[in-house]
Chain A
Amino acid sequence: MHEMSLCESVVELVQEQAHLQGFCQVQRICLEIGELSCVSEEALCFAFDAVAKGTLAEAALLCVDTVAGVGWCSACQCEVGMQQHYDACPECGYYPLVIRAGEEMRIKALEVV
């Protein structure tokens, strides 16, 4: 459900940028969403259609770039893959891992007219 609010934020940021940078239509919105962020890509795209209706982003395509979760194991002194906040090191079983990537929720770029 919070994907609806995130989409509203995306549209607001796009509107701010339209005002600042002088464009009137958006064709593509490139997002970066981390695997460990609490965002479902499917729900995001579903909510976006509803939220963008009647705005300059109405016809925009949402392109989501998924960022893999990466954690630092202080026992192995190396980076390991993470799918959940509570994942242990797959090599030695140590936890907690320090999250290095995967919590992103960013707008990267827009393709505009």
Chain B
Amino acid sequence: MCTVCGCGEGEVQQHEHHHEEDEHGHGVHHTHSHAHHHDYGQGLAGAHVAGMSQTRMVAIEQDILSKNNRYADANRRYFSERGILALNLVSSPGSGKTTLLTQTIGALGEAFSMAVIEGDQQTSNDAERIRQTGVQAVQINTGKGCHLDAHMIGHALDDLKPKPASLLMIENVGNLVCPAAFDLGEAHKVVILSVTEGEDKPLKYPDMFHAADLMVLNKCDLLPYVAFDVEACCAHARRVNPTIRILKLSATTGEGMPAWLTWLKAAREMAGIEMSHPHEAS
């Protein structure tokens, strides 16, 4: 076990995993306990008897994800101080996340600096695909884990050191269930759904579509060949999340990509505006 932040061995495998005193306060938080004892003095034994032990109730009242959320807050502060737009890309496996990323990198060109964190159970194939485009990428292998958590992202940031005002894409493990619950400190969750999947996925996996701000409907060039009802899919997504935005595109053909790029630019502008808040207030 890591003695600095308590991460278990084998949980995360990362390149150059190190534990310097980092800038974004990751790992330096300690629990401030609001717990108080309720020692009723009436354990199973009823009295102190040799060989039998007293038990007591300890009220904790803590969110199970409180530790993850503390790391997520530290990540969010890191992004906010640097005007970085961090997006958490979630989908089932094979929806075209990595292709969307490589095409986005190509289309944005020099417009702004980008960095990528790739999450997969095994292999560094995706990070290598990203690096071939010239963009910095860190691969996190979650091993037995089915999602990224905020703690892993904190360590990845130590290695990646994304530039101020850059766009950080976090490609989560392909899974429409587990990543929904884990805040990474991102500005938005973006859920990617391809038209080769079922149009009722928003209803089947409501937690994820409920948590996302944007749904990207990918592989739209294949619509003539598949029985996928776009309108029904959008209605299902809005049923689960009435404020979700929806973009239809094909990362392969480039159809619909300009709207996605405009959304990215607008979201990055917003990240920059948020960055200036503390200074304006002071």
Enumerate chain A interface residues (CB-CB to B < 8 A): 1-2, 4-6, 8-10, 12-13, 16-17, 20-21, 23, 27, 31, 37-38, 84-86, 95-96, 105-113
Contact = CB atoms under 8 A, between A and B. Distances in A.
Contact of A112 (B56, B145, B149): B56
B62 A21 contact: no
A2 B35 CA distance: 26
The 3 closest A-B pairs by CB, nearest first: A2-B178, A1-B146, A38-B207
Contact of A9 (B64, B145, B147): B64
A106 B147 contact: no
A20 to B, nearest CB: 5
Given A1-B177, A9-B67, A31-B64, A109 B59 contact: yes
Given A17-B33, A21-B37, A105 B56 contact: no
Given A10-B64, A20-B35, A113-B53, A86 B58 contact: no
Given A21-B35, A111-B56, A96 B65 contact: no
B35 A17 contact: yes
A38 B181 contact: yes
Interface string B197-212: 0000001001100100
A108 B61 contact: yes
B16 to A, nearest CB: 24
Given A13-B66, A107-B64, A86 B57 contact: no
Interface of B: 6, 8, 31, 33, 35, 37-38, 43, 53-68, 144-147, 149, 175, 177-178, 180-182, 203, 206-207, 210, 239-242
Contacts of B206: 84-86
A106 B144 contact: no
A17 B58 contact: yes
B193 to A, nearest CB: 16
A13 B145 contact: no
A2 B176 CA distance: 11
Contacts of A38: 177-178, 180-181, 207
Chain A binding surface, main DSSP class? mixed
A106 B62 contact: yes
A38 B176 CA distance: 11
Contacts of A21: 33, 35, 37, 58
A6 B33 contact: no
A110 B58 CA distance: 5
Given A2-B147, A5-B145, A107 B178 contact: no
A108 B237 CA distance: 34
A59 to B, nearest CB: 12
A87 to B, nearest CB: 10
Given A13-B67, A86-B203, A108 B177 contact: no
A104 to B, nearest CB: 8
A97 to B, nearest CB: 11
A14 to B, nearest CB: 8
Contacts of A5: 145-147, 149, 178, 182
A85 B181 CA distance: 14
Given A5-B149, A111-B55, A16 B31 contact: yes
A37 B66 CA distance: 15
Contacts of B68: 9
A35 to B, nearest CB: 12
B238 to A, nearest CB: 9
Contacts of B146: 1-2, 4-5
Nearest to A20: B33
B70 to A, nearest CB: 11
Contacts of B6: 12
A21 B38 CA distance: 12
B54 A13 contact: no
